[in-house]
Amino acid sequence: MARVPPAVRLRQVTKVYAHSRVEVHALRGVDLDVEPGEMVAITGPSGSGKSTLLHVAGALDLPTAGELAVLGEDLRALSDDRLAAFRRRRLGFVFQFFNLLPTLSACENAALPLLLDGRGRREALARGAALLERVGLGDRLDHRPDELSGGQQQRVALARALAGDPALLLADEPTGNLDSEAGARVLDLLDEARRAQGLTVVLVTHDPGVAARADRVVRLKDGRVDQVTRPAQPGDAP
């Protein structure tokens, strides 16, 4: 039986930022495979390269060197417009600070990737409304972000991330700005979506509780993979 290619494949990926006269080596030869349907938590101290890894895997930034394939695509070979299309059709993002557009309603925010993709407004908004219903915000469709609590905003962000039926969802500290109850709700919804859609999830977190929900925990240190562990799963032998 042929082996299914990994959802994310990094080989000797480096990322160097040039700040004025100083070079910052954010990633120094990272090798990582994330299998389809897997949930991987990236942890590590500040400055270890967690967010950079997420940005590179999420086609927000390109590596300085190394091989990078996401969902079978060599991202380095794609033009900027094709990268944008790749992000809106194949990927979903959830950010720590929600990053909703403040002038759009919850429904418009949720439907944004579809609207950008040129789908009909009615169809896109219907999909946005359905997703908000799914995350428990069916009664907040016309609310603007500043009329919602932090937890609600993050649920809108999750709905937006799911709008394009992505195969890979990337989350940067998705609960970092939420209280524990709201954080747990978001993670539950994420799990639910992952199970329902067979999503691959890569999330960055400082929270061991969040990392414990992942299939694998990759710890970065100074831009390198320092340690890979498998948290105990329900059903594992004690």
Partner 1 sequence: MRALVGPVALRRVRLEPGRTALLVAGVALGVAVFVAVRALNQTAVATLGKVGQVAAGGAALVVEGGAGGVPLDLLPALRAVEGVAAAAPIVARFAREPVADQAGPDAADAPRVLVLGLDLLDPAAREVAAGRDVGVSLDPAALLLPRPALVAAPFARRRGLAPRQPFELFAREGRASFVVAGVFEPRGPAAEVTGGDLVVLPLGLALEAFGPEGRADRVAVSLADGADADGVAAGLRAVVAAAPGGAGLRVDAPGAGALQPGALLGTMQLGLTIASLLALVVGQFLIYNAMSIAVVRRRPELGVLRAVGASRAHLALLLLAEALAFGAVGSALGLGLGALLADAALGLVNAQVTQLYAMLDARRATLDASTVALGLLAGPLATVLASVPPVVSALTVSPVEAARKDPPRGRADRAVRALAAVGAAALLGSAGWYVASAGQSIPEGALLLVGVAGGAALLAPWAASRAVTLLRPLLARLGPTGALAADALLVRPGRAGVTVAALMVALGGVLAISGLVRSLERAVTTWVAQVLVADIYCAASNPLGSQGNTLLDAEQVQAALLEVEGVASAYPIRFVFEEATTRARGGDERRGQALVMAFDLAFLGDHSRIPVTASVDGGLKGAIARILERPADRVAISSNLARARGIGVGDRVTLRTPEGPWSPEVVLCVVDYSSEHGCVYVDLPEYRRRWSDPRANAFDLFVRPGADPAAVAADLRRRLGGRYDLFVTENAAFRRQVLVVVEGAFTVTYAMQVIAIGVALLGVVTTLLATALERTRELGVLRAVGATRGQVRRTIVTEAALLGALAGAFAAGLGAAMGLALVTRIVSGQYGWDLEYVYPWGQALWGGALATALAALAGALPAERAARLEVVRALEGE
- The conformational region for residue 222 under phi > 0 = left, psi -120 to 50 = alpha, else beta, is left
- Which residues ranging from 175 to 234 are in contact with partner 1 (CB under 8 A)? none
Candidate segments 36-44, 76-84, 182-190, 205-213, binder of partner 1 by CB under 8 A: 76-84
Count the helices and strands in the chain (H runs, E runs): 7, 10
End-to-end CA distance of the chain: 33
Measured CA to CA, the distance from residue 105 to residue 145 in angstroms comes to 7
Measured CA to CA, the distance from residue 14 to residue 12 in angstroms comes to 6
Window 149-168: contact mask with partner 1 (x via CB under 8 A) = -----------x---x----
Kindly state whether residue 93 participates in binding partner 1, applying the rule CB under 8 A: yes
- Tokens describing residue 17: 């930022």
Q: How far is the CB of 31 from partner 1 (least distance, A)?
A: 22
- Which residues ranging from 105 to 144 are in contact with partner 1 (CB under 8 A)? 108, 112-113, 115-118, 121
Residues 6+ apart with CB under 8 A from 198: 36, 37
Q: How far is the CB of 51 from partner 1 (least distance, A)?
A: 8
- Residue closer to partner 1 by CB (options 38, 108) is 108
Residues in a beta bridge with 94:
171
- Residue closer to partner 1 by CB (options 32, 163) is 163
Among 9, 50, 87, 155, binds partner 1 (CB under 8 A): 87
Q: How far is the CB of 4 from partner 1 (least distance, A)?
A: 25
Measured CA to CA, the distance from residue 80 to residue 77 in angstroms comes to 10
- Count of residues that bind partner 1 according to CB under 8 A: 29
Among 1, 3, 18, 102, binds partner 1 (CB under 8 A): 102
Among 14, 99, 177, 197, binds partner 1 (CB under 8 A): 99
CA distances from 148 to 100, 110, 143, 159, 205 (A): 11, 14, 7, 14, 24
- State whether residue 163 is helix, strand or coil: coil
Q: DSSP characters for 129-181? A: HHHHHHTT-TT-TT--GGGS-HHHHHHHHHHHHHTT--SEEEEESTTTTS-HH
- Residue closer to partner 1 by CB (options 112, 187) is 112
- Which residues ranging from 32 to 61 are in contact with partner 1 (CB under 8 A)? 55, 58, 60-61
Among 21, 80, 139, 181, binds partner 1 (CB under 8 A): 80
Residues at the interface with partner 1 (CB under 8 A):
55, 58, 60-61, 80-81, 84-85, 87-89, 93, 95, 99-104, 108, 112-113, 115-118, 121, 160, 164
